Amino acid sequence: MRRPAIMVDIETLDTSVTAAIVSIAAIVFDVHGQSTREDLLKDHFYTNISIVSNQKFGRTMSADTIEWWFKQSQEAQRALYSDPILPFNTALIKYRQWLEAQTADRIYACDPDFDCNILAHGLESIKDRDPFQYHGRRSVRTTIEFAYPDEPMPNVEMGTAHNALDDVVKQALQMQHCWNKIHG
């Protein structure tokens, strides 16, 4: 029996492992499936995180990343301030609890070296632990390059770019598309 996987996406105010995390989204999905947005959102985790509470835990912000955010769409910017907005430690504990309630043994991210490492560091900074070790992490980017080595992947438009929840749905749909292309 196939086990489901997790797709995660975060939005941050820096690109280092100590980055302030302002949004976390995660969904459960079947890599082999063909889902709709509604299917993927049946079981999801999503929260925004207070910037002030990030500072209390020593999370960092960079001028370059903040300037980059000023150049993003108003929809993406507004999404960072929509409810729920939780304190840093509460958000990360709830995220870890949600992860542990799933039966997944793999976690995908566009770039696990970014999303998963920052989340793991965030959990460590509140004296908690990441339930996914390095061997359970998978890369959306690498899978896309494997499925489409010589051509661009067909565009999967889904919601607002840099909205963590929209991005996580898009990435799951991309994974399913690539899996079906690779395995016929």
The pLDDT of residue 156 is 85
Q: Which residues of the chain have pLDDT under 50?
A: none
Domain boundaries, the chain: 5-183
The pLDDT of residue 134 is 86
The pLDDT of residue 15 is 98
- In a 3-state reduction of DSSP, which class is residue 138? strand
CATH architecture of 5-183: 2-Layer Sandwich (3.30)
Q: Which among 61, 46, 131 is positioned nearest to 91, based on CA atoms?
A: 46
The pLDDT of residue 1 is 55
Question: Which run of H or E residues covers position 44?
Answer: strand 44-49
Please list the residues that pair with 107 across neighbouring strands: 6, 137
The pLDDT of residue 3 is 82
Please give the model's pTM, rounded to 2 decimal places.
0.96
The pLDDT of residue 167 is 97
